[in-house]
Amino acid sequence: MRYFILSFFFILYTSAKAQDLSALYEKVKPAVVVIYTEERKLQRLGNTTAMVNAQGLGSGFLISDTEIITAAHVVDVAEKLFVQFLDGETIEAKVVSTFNEADVALIRLTRPKKNAVLVSLGDSDKSKVGEQVVIIGAPFGLAHSLSSGYISSKKSNTKDANPYTNTEFIQTDAAINTGNSGGPMFNLGGEVIGIVSQIKTVTGGFQGIGFAATSNIAKALLIDKKIPWTGADFLPLSGKSAKLLNIPQNSGLLAQRVVSTSPYGKMGLRGGTVEATIDGTDVLLGGDIILAFNGIRFEMNDETLKKLGDFASSLQSGDAVVLEILRGGKILSLQN
């Protein structure tokens, strides 16, 4: 009889929890979007390589009728962005701001979404290990799919003076797969406390360890600082790698991919064209190496990185930007 009673209450409990998740899902799912991207990637074609168009996939969520938060790696070097909503409507979008280390990004629709359903960013500091969470996204393109799990751990590095190196992640066992990136992690109150980022895997599939950037780091970087998107990704070079590429100073930033319509693309910055491996890292060589931003010489130290962070934060639309670059052994200047 005791076993029967315990089983009965367990069934009631699990049924109530399922109903709670179902109600939460119905409430927030219209705010979750699928993001389709078009990028330029280097691809081997026979005995040659060429830059070709490649399609990408991610998720995101509406915080206003025009603004969407997603993961930086989903949109950072996208030539084109299209956002698809639950009702099937698709609207083009533009990147506003990205932070690669924290893996958070803000994009803006080219026109407002009518009858937009919004979600709010919660206080991720209040979330606790063991708390249940819900993730909604588009794994493998399966839009508005739900997975649930628990917070396994929390990882934080927010003490650096340079905003580019600040990170904060929630670890979870909720299932995360390709296409989930950028999607929201909800607490049971329906607040977004994380932005899905990456998984730790050996096989390439999900193995129970996933990470989401916290809502608080997203608020701090995307809403408070609003450092503008540049439209390029870079590989920092110092020490042995800097000497190998004959950089005339201790450090530099090697351009990997540059979006043609981005601010840096319009300035004429060039990305890499040749695949190579340096110290076990796959890189694209042949691109410009940035030596200085508006006279601030790039060095891999806290003082310089702080100056560059402050410089980027202070930029307003139309401000002059001058890049000192190394191209083909010559030092040149690019200006907007």
294/311 Cα distance (integer angstroms): 9
39/95 Cα distance (integer angstroms): 13
In the block, tokens 């001058």 appear at 322
Q: What length does the chain have?
A: 336
Choosing from 59, 76, 97, 103, the catalytic residue is: 103
Q: What count of Cα atoms within 13 Å lies in the side-chain half-sphere of residue 76?
A: 17
Residue 103 annotated in active site: yes
Choosing from 59, 73, 147, 197, the catalytic residue is: 73
Residue type, 60: G
141/158 Cα distance (integer angstroms): 33
Instruction: State the SS3 of 126-161.
Output: HCCCCCEEEEEECHHHCCCEEEEEEEEEEEEECCCC
Residue 26, helix vs strand vs coil: helix
Residue 173 annotated in active site: no
Instruction: State the SS3 of 290-305.
Output: EEEECCEECCCCHHHH
Residue 279 annotated in active site: no
Choosing from 97, 147, 181, 251, the catalytic residue is: 181
25/134 Cα distance (integer angstroms): 9
Element holding 239 (H helix, E strand): helix 239-244
Q: Could you list the active site residues?
A: 73, 103, 181
